[in-house]
């Protein structure tokens, strides 16, 4: 099942745990804030998307069914 991944840029404060733990899905912009690399992920990256979501201290990442 495909998943939709998004980040609330108003909430992200640059902890970086998302892109350290799941660089296949999340990247960093010039200031260290999250950039979504794959807004829609398939099963092969679903676990990575959820790991990023679960480890953001700010709760900035949302993962939902696509
Ligand atoms: Fe931002 Fe959370 Fe990642 S604060 S850089 S979305 S771990």
Cα distances from 20 to residues 15, 17, 28, 63, in angstroms, run 10, 5, 9, 17
> Beta strands 26-28 and 61-65: pairing type?
unpaired
* Cα 9 to middle of ligand 1, angstroms: 9
**pLDDT for the residue numbered 59:** 98
Model pLDDT, residue 1: 83
> Measured between alpha carbons, how far is 64 from 20 in angstroms, rounded to an integer?
21
Rg of the chain over all Cα atoms, to the nearest angstrom: 10
Tell me the whole-structure pTM to 2 decimals.
0.96
* pLDDT less than 70: residues of the chain: none
Q: Which two tokens stand for residue 37?
A: 């690399």
Pocket test for ligand 1, best of 26, 55, 60 (most atoms within 8 A of CB): 60
pLDDT at residue 33, as a whole number:
98
């Amino acid at each position: 099942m495909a998943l939709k991944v998004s980040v609330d840029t108003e909430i992200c404060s640059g902890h970086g745990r998302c892109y350290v733990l799941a660089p296949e899905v999340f990247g960093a912009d010039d200031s260290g804030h999250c950039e979504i690399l794959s807004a829609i992920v398939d099963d092969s990256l679903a676990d990575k998307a959820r790991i990023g979501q679960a480890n953001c201290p700010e709760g900035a990442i949302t993962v939902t069914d696509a």
